[in-house]
Chains A and B, each alone.
Chain A
């Protein structure tokens, strides 16, 4: 997604004569948006469909979406924190925790599902609030503070469920992974709703403040931005997204596992970086990270259908990650050189 600052640049700026209104390089616009990662995704999907014609039927698409949704939502939450110039490791803890809660206390029916959703959001929000308090108010380094909360959440998850098991309610497991009218994957819809919300949030004062504190915290503070509240809210919102990711993960695996969040920890950062969001804050967007997550998931499929030896899939993933980040960085730099 485009940087908020440039979102307006295409607006009414009447001329390029004015100082500062340097004409934006088209490439630059591309990198600021999710253009690059979107392009990569389409390319990979074409490749995948070429190798595996069944990739285009609605079941396969839904399965891919189901597979993508947890990482996409986790990466979305991580993006918020990264935009505010932070790192959130608690992602692994929150997802594990919501997963075991859903598996140990399944609530049947649509009403139960709604309640489960609220529980997930509450768990994520609560952990996020603790993170936010530690980072924004007690001024701990985010990576260190969230490391501690991650360990604690993992511990709580193990206390609730000490071995994989339990069953997520059927309604969640079936409906959230199903298709509406046999076509539209529900998991995709959930991700779309999150993206839609993000597009709205980006246009609020909070959204602007988020980018502001990520780029230059002292300046934002002196401009009247309430840095602590913004940072606090960011962790809470991120936590809620992890909770949602936990819900989608539970829907897909239909069971509880106290370690289920761990694999998503580093992947979420990879997805964020792949989406072109700057790890030093203030630049990037949530949609791009979602696409980054989708690309990572799709990459596995493509590597599988290409028949790459399983031993070496990591090699390809690593190389693609580096190349994509280098490429997006290059485009950004070319664009910034006016």
Chain B
């Protein structure tokens, strides 16, 4: 029996009798993940030409620490995008997490052990509200999360009266500043987080459901997947991870500001897309996203080190994003993949 794709024109991809390999799509994802990782390494090594101190372990540490915020944020963004949505409320929720952590908990509050989870719960509630609007009121995700973002920012402004108070909780500071076994704590945390995130997205039944829903909601519903719950889940997870990223930011810079999350919105989307996910959902891996996030951070570090004026740096940054997109095109990997077979 031959194998054939009967999708019209675009993706006609055929496989003849005597197949011996795994699906083209699976390998395309793997290849793109590797490609992103390789690109990171190449960039880091190439940076030595710019400054001899670049490409050192200490720069890698810096990249990993600074990249950890983006990784955590884009984990949530990635899950939402996986189900075909988009979360524009990430910056606002990250800020919410940061502000609540400093306001409710403060530096050395013994109640932190239950207050911090409460902070994350509050963030999760925002995610739940977004999801409720999307699932039950059928508002497009783009609009719902945009509106939530405006609402949360506005409430935060009112709540703080414009002045965020308080200090970073000790736990958050320890997480971002501590050393464990000679390694910076955030790096170890990042490794653990990536592992968990990967397990969740690629190896858990929830991850499977999300892929199924992102591919085709109706088919997933008919197949008996818990569709409603699984459409809500990514927004809640995304909000909680954004809240956590807010906590990390607070721990890193020992205080919260009202616009602390703003600069992460576009990068979080870019990281997911560069990592090989489809913005339409159903495709992409967390490892790819991690690669995308690290790539963007590496790029930022190196570009900072070049003594160019800001405009030119911005142009270079945009160009590299573009090149990454062009290099990571699916067709390209199919071609590469077919060469390897």
Contacts and interface: CB of A to CB of B under 8 A. Distances in A.
**A–B contact at 8 Å CB threshold (below):** yes
Interface of A: 89, 134, 138-141, 143-145, 147-160, 162, 218, 221-222, 258, 266, 269-270, 273, 278-280, 309, 311-315, 317-319, 321-322, 325-326, 329, 333
A141 B10 contact: no
B74 to A, nearest CB: 14
A155 B10 CA distance: 35
B9 interface: yes
B205 interface: no
Nearest to A151: B318
A321 B266 contact: no
A273 B143 contact: yes
Given A140-B325, A311-B158, A315-B155, A273 B317 contact: no
Those 8 A-B pairs whose CB atoms lie nearest each other, nearest first: A314-B154, A155-B314, A158-B311, A151-B318, A155-B315, A159-B311, A152-B318, A318-B151
B9 A218 contact: yes
A135 B280 CA distance: 14
Interface stretch (B50-58, B131-139, B185-193): B131-139
Q: For chain B, give the interface size range.
A: 35 or more
Contact of A319 (B147, B278, B315): B147
B113 interface: no
A270 B314 contact: no
B279 A141 contact: yes
A123 B273 CA distance: 27
B151 A158 contact: no
Contacts of B336: none
B310 interface: yes
Contacts of A134: 322, 325
Contact of B143 (A159, A309, A325): A325
Contact of A159 (B9, B137, B312, B319): B312
Interface in B145-175: 146-151, 153-155, 157-158, 161-162
A13 B8 CA distance: 33
Nearest to B324: A148
Contacts, number: 153
Contacts of B322: 134, 145, 148-149, 152
A222 B9 CA distance: 9
B154 A159 contact: no
Interface of B: 7-10, 88, 133, 137-140, 142-144, 146-151, 153-155, 157-158, 161-162, 266, 269-270, 273-274, 278-280, 309-319, 321-322, 325-326, 329, 331
Contact of A145 (B138, B140, B319, B325): B325
Overall SS of chain B's interface: helix
A218 B10 contact: yes
Question: Which of B7, B142, B309, B317 is packed against the most chain A CB atoms within 10 Å?
Answer: B142
Contacts of A278: 140
Given A151-B314, A318-B150, A141 B143 contact: no
A159 B315 contact: yes
Contacts of B158: 309, 311-312, 315
B60 to A, nearest CB: 25
B138 A329 contact: yes
Contact of B150 (A144, A221, A314): A314
Nearest to B312: A159
A151 B317 contact: yes
B279 to A, nearest CB: 5
A134 B326 CA distance: 9
A146 to B, nearest CB: 10
Contacts of A144: 270, 273-274, 279, 325
Contact of A266 (B88, B157, B310): B88
A145 B270 CA distance: 10
B312 A155 contact: yes
Contacts of A157: 311
A143 B140 contact: no
Nearest to B141: A279
Contacts of B10: 218
B314 A321 contact: no
Given A314-B157, A322-B139, A325-B143, A150 B318 contact: yes
A49 to B, nearest CB: 26
